[in-house]
Each structure stands twice: as structure tokens, then as C-alpha cells.
Amino acid sequence: MDAKSLKVVQENRDYTMFSWSVQGASNPIHMKRGQGVWFWDGDDQRWLDFSSQLINLNVGHQHPKMLEAIKKQVDELCFAGPSFATEPRGSLGKKLAEVTGLAKAFFTLGGSEANENAIKMARLVTGRDKIITRYRSYHGATMGSMTASGDPRRWAVEPGIPGIVRVFDPYCYRCPFGQKVETCHRECVSHIEEVIQMEGSHSIAAIMVEGITGSNGLLVPPDDYYPKLRALCDKYGILLIDDEVMAGFGRTGKWLATQHFGIKPDIVTCAKGLTSGYMPLGAVIVSDKVANYFETNMLWGGLTYSGHPVCCAAAVANLHIYEEEKIFENVEKQGRYLASRLEAMKQKYACVGDVRYKGLFSVLELVKDKSTREPLAPFNGSSPEMSKLAAHLKSRHLYAFIRFNMLWVCPPLIINEEELRQGLDIVEEALHLLDGSMGKASVARTGEPVGAR
Ligand SMILES: Cc1ncc(COP(=O)(O)O)c(C=O)c1O
């Protein structure tokens, strides 16, 4: 690293704090510049971004139309208070209503705040207190959304806010009810009904779920899970809050992950892919029923930066890019290639227990033993094997998200097949190393040497 880069890293470490880290152990990469699916570090080394930064940089780095729209809005009007009407705010609201089939949006600065406000609105509209959420979920780091999360990161802030009740997930590879998806009775839904009854249906304002669970294992539910959950909500007058912060806006090839399952939530929260990370913005998008309630009742919520014109202009441009450049079609096409590679890896490598995917949203779940499904690292923990995997990807300048015994593959949605191939080949090198270090030979189904292509 040159002296300038060393100084950048040093100042960042000395004067700023990094998320979810023991500060003394933080070891940030100096990112100098980015282009498309690539970024360059302090040594001018090029990295392939297989994580779209924090699974948000959907249109890739430095998209010219994004830069142009942001610059144009900056020149025109940088800021208007949240009580003012502006052109980008109105256009964005209209577009969001169109793509979600919902009615109105309240703007925040990110996903955590969106979920805070969704909880608040659900409580106001229903006059009920409790929110049902799932154990394997992440809804944000602020106090309410962190408590709503099942993710172990909540432990540090417990007891958090009152009124959160958690249920189990549609995690078919490790079904909490010991069932198999082909023969089960969707106990992952029926047990929620039992919880509703035990808690008192009159006290439950909402069920809050990630459309497809992201950072807690990329759990794709069976096709009838959401229709059944929707019916349960309707039966008991409970609102369905769909957190699409990570899964929404093209990641799975649709505007919302729940659109794959043919249901309409009452409230959608989003952020990340809404602006592809170019500007901080989140939204709570609500149904007619919820919007109507607030026509005659106070919305007890507000933020100085709600409806920030530059953020809204960035989102409008980003949503246009999705359509103009047929991004969802690319997600479908590259998603098919990704799926075929992941399925082949599951066959080929002893350490790959399961692969789950929808569009360009995917994970490999790694195990010590395919038959016992013993995880390669414990829940909420790490292991020498997972560290070895991370070290290999890093040495090959592949930037990817790794947590517990899982490796996510979530590249920018503009990726092409050659770029995807390059990254997946590096992932395969690492899997081969892992199999070797556990004394297990990789079965090369095609007969070719592992890694050769
Ligand atoms: C599903 C989900 N909800 C909410 C959040 C929180 O969003 P933010 O970090 O923008 O506050 C995240 C962040 O990763 C997320 O993945």
C-alpha cells in the first residue's frame, strides 16, 4: 500500500468506528474507486464484488445515469424540509405505488428506520401492540427493528422494545419441526396460528417477515407458504409487513420477493436496492387501508430527511434503469446460470450441504458431513474452515459475504456471464481446498480436474 492509502486506513481506524466489529480488530480495505461489478483497493488491485457491497449496489458502481440524475438534482435543489412537496418525491411515490400495487410511501433514510415506522404504523392502525417476527431474520440495528430481528445481534440490546413475539422459519434444509418439505403439513405456518391463539389474536398488530430471508440464511419458502400466511393474517385481522430491504428491487428478478408467491402485503419496507446504495433512502409503502387510516388520523412520525430530494431523485433514476436496461431479465438469465453452477457444486463438493437461490440472491450452506448436516461453523460462530474459505477468496480478490457456515453469492444485477463465471470459479477453488483440508475428495462429476474450465 502506498503512503496515501496507509494514511486513509489509519485515519479511518483511529477516528471512526466500524459496524458490528471489535474496533481493535477491524481491518478495512481502502476502496479507491469502483466501476460496474469491480472495485480497486489501495494497491490498485481489482476486486470482483460478489456481494454488491452490502447486497445493495444493484446497478453496480458509478452507473452514469445515476451520477447524472444525482448531479442534476444537486444543481436544482439539494434540500427541502419534509413538509414540502418536491418533484422527485412525488414521482417516486407514484412509481412505488405502481410497482408494488400499494398506495402511499413514507420515506426514511434506510431499512432500520423503515421497519421502525412500519411497526409504529401497524400499532396505530390496528390499536394492537404485538408484532410477530421470525427467529432467522434481520430487520435493522435501531432499537425497535433490532428487537424485531431474531438474529443473534439482538442479544446485545435485549430486552429492547416490548411486544415482539418470535416464531420459527420456513427453513426446509433444517426444518425446526423435523419435517420434509415434500410431505410436511407446513407446520411453519400452522405453528404461527397456534402462537397467535396463545398470545391472543386481539393483541397482534402485524406479522413481519423478510420476503426472502437474507442475512440469516437465504431461506426461500415453499410456494404455498405466503398464501397460507396471508390467509392467516386475514383471518385474524393482522397486518402483513413485508421487509424487502434486501430481497426487493430486482435482487430476485422482481420488484418484491413476495411477488413470486402471488400475495400482496399490507405494508412493504424497502431501502438498499431502492437507490442501489447511491443515496441513503428507505420507504414504508402502505396499502389503501393503511393510507386511508392516516387520512383522518395523525401519523405520529417524522424525520428531518424524510423525502430528501437528492435521495428521491437517485431512486427515480435507479428504478428507470431497472426498466430501461431490462435488469430483471438479466437477473433471470444470470440467475439460471448461477443456479446451475450452485447445483453442480452441491453434487461435486463434500462440504456443500445445501444451495438456495432466487435470481441473483443465493447462498451456499457448508457442512462437515453431508449426511449428518453438521454445520461447518456453529450458529453465531466461526471456525478455522470458514476462516480458510474467507482467506482464500480474499487472496483471489473476490469480495463476498460470509457468516456462520454460509457463503452468499449476490453480485450486482448488471453482472454478465463471464464475470459470474470468474467469481464462481474462485468459489470452487475454495470449496476444493475445504474438501481437501477435511480429508474428503471432491467428486468431479464431469471427470475434468476440479477448477479447470
Ligand atoms: C432485511 C433487512 N431489513 C432491514 C435492514 C436494515 O437496513 P439498514 O441497514 O438500511 O438500516 C437490513 C440490512 O441489511 C436488511 O437486510
Q: What is the pLDDT of residues 291-310, one digit of tens each?
A: 999 999 999 999 999 999 99
- Cα–ligand 1 centroid distance for 141 (angstroms): 8
- CA 154-156-157 angle, to 5 degrees, is 70
The rounded Å distance from CA 136 to ligand 1 centre is 14
Residues within 6 Å of ligand 1 by CB: 110-112, 115, 138-140, 210, 214-215, 243, 245-246, 271
**Ranges for all domains in the chain classified under CATH 3.90.1150.10:** 3-59+327-437
- Would the pLDDT of 316 be above 50? yes
Question: CATH classification of 64-324 is 3.40.50.300, yes or no?
Answer: no
Across all residues in the chain, what is the average pLDDT? 96
Q: Closest ligand 1 atom to the C-alpha of 272?
A: 10
Closest residue by Cα to atom 8, ligand 1, is 111
Residue 443: what pLDDT?
61
Burial class (CB in 10 A: 0-12, 13-18, 19+), 20: exposed
224-260 pLDDT, tens digit per residue, is 999 999 999 999 999 999 999 999 999 999 999 999 9
Indicate the pairing of strand 104-108 with strand 130-134: unpaired
**Residue 453 has what pLDDT?**
29
Q: Where in the chain is the domain with CATH 3.40.640.10?
A: 64-324
The alpha carbon of 54 and the centre of ligand 1 are apart by a number of angstroms equal to 9
CA-CA distance, 375 to 373, in Å (whole number)? 6
The pick from 18, 19, 112 for probing ligand 1's pocket by mutation, whose C-beta has the most ligand atoms within 8 angstroms, reads 112
Where does 3-59+327-437 sit in CATH, by number?
A: 3.90.1150.10
330-387 residue pLDDT tens: 999 999 999 999 999 999 999 999 999 999 999 999 999 999 999 999 999 999 999 9
Q: What is the pLDDT of residues 402-425, one digit of tens each?
A: 999 999 999 999 999 999 999 999
Q: Whose CA is nearest to atom 3 of ligand 1?
A: 139
Looking from the CA of residue 110, the nearest atom of ligand 1 is: 10
